[in-house]
Amino acid sequence: MMQTTLRQSLERERDNILGFWDREMTDHRFGGFYGKMSADGKPDPFAIKGSVPMARILQSFSAGALQTGRAEWLAAAERAHTWFRQYCIDPEFGGVVWDTDYAGRCQDPKKEPHAMGIALYALATWQQLRPSNENLNLAKGIYSLLQLYAHDPVRGGYTGACTRDWQPEKPDIKSVYDQLHILEGFTALFAVWQDDTLRHHLHDLIQLFLDKIIDPVTHHLHLYFDTEWKPEGNLVSYGKDIQAAWQLQRAAEALGDETLIQRTREAALQLTDAALEGMDADGGMWYKANLETKHIVEEKRWWPQAEAMVGLVNAWQVSGNEKYLTQAADTWQFIENYILDRELGEWRWGVNRDNTPIPEEKAGFSKGPCHNSRACMEIVRMLQ
């Protein structure tokens, strides 16, 4: 009964989220989608359009059209793909620029590895929906540039930002954010292009998480590293822990490697249990904490709640332990009570300890439709 209720609720919420972005965020004048909407629901028609949120919109509508077959989501995905292909791809040096102005004029041409991973995720999902050699070749090109300029062939993983012509700007920094977004991009790309070299690189990235990024004692993800993969700092992100829990497993399942699948299932449960250290009694997940000082960033942002639901349902299916499914339902109840914006639509940025809304943007560079619509779609798929 709990499974059916949760699935039906998230089917409706999937449609609510995508409907909001289609209805409220479509840029009918300049194309694509608006770059920003304030907390009080006012879109900014002249806001910067980041390649990351534009890719997230493309991925979300493509996935929505794949799951539902709805013509309006296909049309929105086509609109997103047209904008992304025309304005977010660097025509001279390849890869994805960081952002453009409202009309598509490049503002910052730097190359961020995590933006490349998110672009691959979007283009590969679109490829599933509307296969074409042109689109697949575009994705292959981004993948090749990542390997050529951002990959560390000796120590593994991917380094920080590059200039427009791919000169390294942060060669001494490695972060879990780059690795995780590249992992999701490679996983999606492998679904449409079973290349042996890509298989090798995806396998190595999964292994890197298992051997270097997940702490063997706390089972949290380390967030930052030096070039030798020595962890730096004591911060943990509960949302990233539980996001990695299910995405690592999906990556191993895509490869079909039974040994790796078993290892990632074990890691998924360990990461989920570690993330639950940040779960409040009301079902909401805290944002970050410092393990040394025990200081918690007392915000419950929208995206950790979304990732928590997916990770918890996944942990229930892996372990058979009903406590995870019950917790997923509790987190959905928290979202319904405090994160959903009943008046303006979509999800709030988050809430403070006293559950008062955080007055941050409803949509923008750091907040797109991906985490929440994806959580709905993943759980609908898992509970069918």
* Per-residue pLDDT tens digits for 171-195: 888 999 999 999 999 999 999 999 9
Q: Which of 3, 5, 1, 17 is nearest to 306 (CA)?
A: 17
Contacts of 86 (CB under 8 A, 6+ apart): 104
Measured between alpha carbons, how far is residue 214 from residues 143, 292, 365 in Å? Answer: 25, 17, 28
Residue 105 confidence (pLDDT): 98
The confidence band for 142, taking pLDDT boundaries of 50, 70 and 90, is: very high
Q: At residue 49, what are phi and psi to the nearest 5 degrees?
A: -110, 110
CA distance 65 to 18: 10
pLDDT digits over 300-321, tens only? 999 999 999 999 999 999 999 9
Helix or strand run (H / E) with residue 296: strand 296-297
- Which residues, listed in sequence order, are joined to residue 237 by a DSSP beta bridge? 288
> Could you read off the pLDDT of 43-66 as tens digits, one per residue?
999 999 999 999 999 999 999 999
Distance of alpha carbon 49 from alpha carbon 107, whole angstroms: 9
Q: Mean pLDDT score of the chain, rounded to an integer?
A: 97
pTM for the predicted model, two decimal places: 0.97
pLDDT reading at 2 higher than 90? no
Return d(Cα 163, Cα 153) in angstroms, integer: 20
Q: Which two tokens stand for residue 332?
A: 């959905």
State the Cα–Cα distance between residues 29 and 54, nearest whole angstrom: 16
Dmax over Cα atoms in the chain, in whole Å?
A: 55
From the list 38, 75, 39, the residue with the least C-alpha distance to 57 is: 75
